[in-house]
Amino acid sequence: MTTATTGDMLSSRSVIGSTLADLGESNPDLWVLTPDIGGSLGAFRSQFPDRFVDVGLAEQACVGVAAGLAYDGKTPVVFGMLPFLSMRALEQVRTDVCYPNLPVKIVGSHGGLVGNGGSTHYAVEDIALMSALTNMTVTSVADPLMAGEVLRASMELDGPLYLRMGVGKSDPVLYEPGSVDVTIGKGIVARDGGDLTILTHGTTVRQALDAADILAAEGIEARVVDMFTIKPLDEELVLASAAETGRILVVEDHLAYGGLGSRVADLLMDRGAGAVAFERLGIPQVYAGFGPDEALREKHGYGLTQTIATARRLVRGEEAGR
C-alpha cells in the first residue's frame, strides 16, 4: 500500500495501479481492462495476466467487454483517459453498464483543463454526462491517496462508479492519511469557516484551500468542502453549510453548468434555500486550447485570483460585475 504524508507529491495513477494489484490478491473476480493506457497497471498485469485485458485504442469495446465480464459475475475496472471513456464510449456506458446496473468501475485521468493536451484531450463535460446516467455513482478526487480509498470502497457498490482524476502523474497529498473519512456519498470539510462555503472537487480543492488561507489573512473565514462524491450529492452537508454560512461558492474544473454547480443550485432551489447568496466558477462555453493548468484556469475565470475575488464579493454582499 502506498504511504505518504501531507504535502508529498504522488502519482494518482500509480496509487490506482498498486491498489488494483493489492485488491487482485484477495478478489479472484477482479479484472482490469484498458484501451491502451496501461502504463501504471504493470503490477496487476504481471501478477494476474489472465485477468488483464488491453483492447487497444477502442474505448467502446473496452466498456462492452467489461459489461460482459460483469454479467459473468466478475468485477471489472476500466482504466483510461476520461475524455474518451466519457464521450466515445458513452452509449456503451449508458446501455451496457448503467441500464443493467452492472458493477463496472470506470477510472481515469485528464478530468478538467489539465495536461496541456488541447480541447480534444480535456474531459470538461464528463461529470454532466455521467451524472445524467441512471445508477451511476460519480466521484472526483483531489488527493492521490483518496483515489485508492475510493477505488477500494467501490468494490462494495453493487452498481457502476466513475472515478475522475487530473493528469495523475504528480498530485499533492492534501490530507494526512487516516485524518478524514472517505465515504462515498459524503463530503469532506477540508477547512472550517463561518463567512462562506467553497464547494469544490478534484484539481480545484487545493486552489480553494490556498484561497481560504489568503482570505483568512484578511479576516474572512472560508469553509472549504471537498465534494468528492458529486452523485449522490451530500445534500445534508450542502444544506447545513448554506444555513450556517449563508453564502455558497462552487469552484470546479468542469463546465460551469452541468457539473457540481448545477447539482448544488438545483438542491438549493428544490429545498427552498434560494435566499442563500450563490455563485459558481467553472469553464465557460469555450474550447480552451493549450496552456499550463493554472494559466488556463486564470484565463477562463475560475483560477485562484477569481476565487478570492468572488469570495470577497459574496461576503461583502456585492453584485457580480462590480
- Per the CB < 8 A criterion, the answer to whether 164 and 140 are in contact is yes
Place of cell 474544473: 253
The ranges assigned to domains in the chain are 10-172, 188-315
| Model pLDDT, residue 93 | 98
Q: Which CATH number fits domain 188-315: 3.40.50.920, 3.30.1360.170, 1.10.10.10, 3.40.50.300?
A: 3.40.50.920
Asked if the domains 10-172 and 188-315 are classified in one and the same CATH topology, the answer is yes
* Cell matching residue 115: 495536461
Under 8 Å between Cβ of 105 and 159: no
**Superfamily, domain 10-172:** Thiamin diphosphate (ThDP)-binding fold, Pyr/PP domains (3.40.50.970)
Q: How far apart are CA 296 and CA 283, in angstroms?
A: 9
Give per-residue pLDDT as tens, 37-55.
Answer: 999 999 999 999 999 999 9
Is 84 in contact with 93 (CB distance < 8 Å)? no
Q: Encode pLDDT of 89-98 as tens digits.
A: 999 999 999 9
User: What is the average pLDDT across 188-206?
Assistant: 98
Confidence of residue 276 (pLDDT cuts 50, 70, 90): confident
Q: Minimum mean pLDDT among 43-47, 202-206, 314-318: which range? A: 314-318
